Structure 1
Amino acid sequence: MKMSIVVRTTTKLVSPFLVTYAAYLMFYGYLSPGGGFQGGVILAVAVILLITSHGYKQVRKKFKFNWASLIESSAGAFLVLLGLVGLAFGAFYANFLPSEGGIIVPFNIAVGLEVGAAFTFVFYILLRWVESD
């Protein structure tokens, strides 16, 4: 089911800003409140807004179900790898990066991608179930 032209146009205009804000939260979440989880939720909201305003079938062509699954599993594997590499430096999730923020920045990015892909993945699954009725 498609929404009105106003809703579709507004969603197309707002979604890039949501993705940009989600990236900002993931990259700079260690400086202020926010971070990976909040950025991931906002990232998923951008995709879910497009799905609800343009219809599942049209958005499914651009944002594949398999891509959400691949991003989710890759981000989860990266989180485990980050913890194991930290273990090699002396402690689980040890801060082994000399930059400002250390491992918090790649950790927030991985968590954001994991959460965003997981919410999108769950929404896709729910829509498949609803469309099968």
Structure 2
Amino acid sequence: MTYVYTKDAVSGGDITVSYEDESGHKLAEDMIQSGNVGDSYTTEVKHIPGHTFKSIIGNATGQFTADAQSVTYVYTKDAVNPKPNSDNKNDVSPTTNGLPKTGENNIMMLLTMMSGMILVMMGVVGLRLKKNKK
């Protein structure tokens, strides 16, 4: 007779994953991971608009232990381009001058097409009249 024993799962301490700037201000909600002692865990860098990942405090991957653990992702704030001086009309900035927006000049396009069609029709009528006079 053979007896097989299994070890009872023991709940491990939670893993708290924080996302902060260099001053310690929260940039996103904390993530809490739970598991059993010995289970593996993995944390990830989040994309946070206006910020760039800088460093990590703690282990991004590891195993649950009986004690709670924390992982902190630290971000730096991205540089902000200053707005162009509105007093200087000659100031050209790539942020203010982009590609033209399509669909804004539908009336002008329609008028141009109609004018072209009228000119073509007038030319055809003029040629026919000239041909009939001969």
Larger Rg: 2
Relative to total residues, which structure has the larger helix share, 1 or 2?
1
- What TM bracket, shorter-length normalisation? under 0.3
Structure with more contact order per residue of length (Cα contacts < 8 Å, sep ≥ 6): 1
Flag the structure with higher strand content: 2
TM-score (norm 2): 0.22
> TM-score, normalized by length of structure 1?
0.22
